[in-house]
Amino acid sequence: MSRRSRRAPSRPVVARAGGTAPARPPAAALVVDLLAVLVFAGVGRSSHAEGTGLLQVAGTALPFWVGVVLAWAVPRVHRDPTRLVPAGAVVLAGSVVVGVVLRLATGQGAPVSFVVVTVVVLAVLLLGWRALARWSARRAAVR
């Protein structure tokens, strides 16, 4: 067997009854990450009785979206975007670190309590969908 044929596939593969098919494409995973951040921003604004219009929520999500997009520049993220580690961990770290730094840089503030809630909620959302996707793929592979 040659080295080339032993190499891992460049895109994740999920076993299907009729063979194999690529798992969730990276673009779809990026969209899910961006939607997760939008949910985080919407819930946060709603819980503080702030405006929940799309532009208002998007404005709150923007610094965290920048972090998500920068995290997606790391090749290991888009190589297998449904993995908790490294993909989920890198996206979580990028969204939190860049999001908080940009909030501070724009004078929006980021008290410790905000940072803690941000880490917890984004971890649940960004790692949660990945865990569900992996579980669903394993379950489909067994069928």
Structure tokens at 130: 């990945």
pLDDT of residue 16: 41
Cα distances (Å, whole numbers) of residue 14 to 11, 19, 49, 114, 141: 10, 9, 43, 38, 7
Phi, psi of 4 (to 5 degrees): -60, -40
pLDDT of residue 117: 97
Q: Highest mean pLDDT range out of 8-12, 93-97, 136-140?
A: 93-97
pLDDT of residue 25: 73
Contacting residues for 54 by C-beta, under 8 A, at least 6 apart: none
pLDDT of residue 78: 87
Domain boundaries, the chain: 24-142
pTM for this structure? 0.81
Average pLDDT over every residue of 54-82: 95
> Burial, 84: exposed, middle or buried (Cβ in 10 Å; 0-12, 13-18, 19+)?
middle
The candidate with the shortest Cα–Cα distance to 134, out of 85, 64, 66, 71, is 85
3-state SS assignment for residue 81? coil
pLDDT at 120 over 50: yes
Residue where the block lists tokens 């996206």: 91
3-state SS assignment for residue 19? strand
pLDDT at 93 over 60: yes
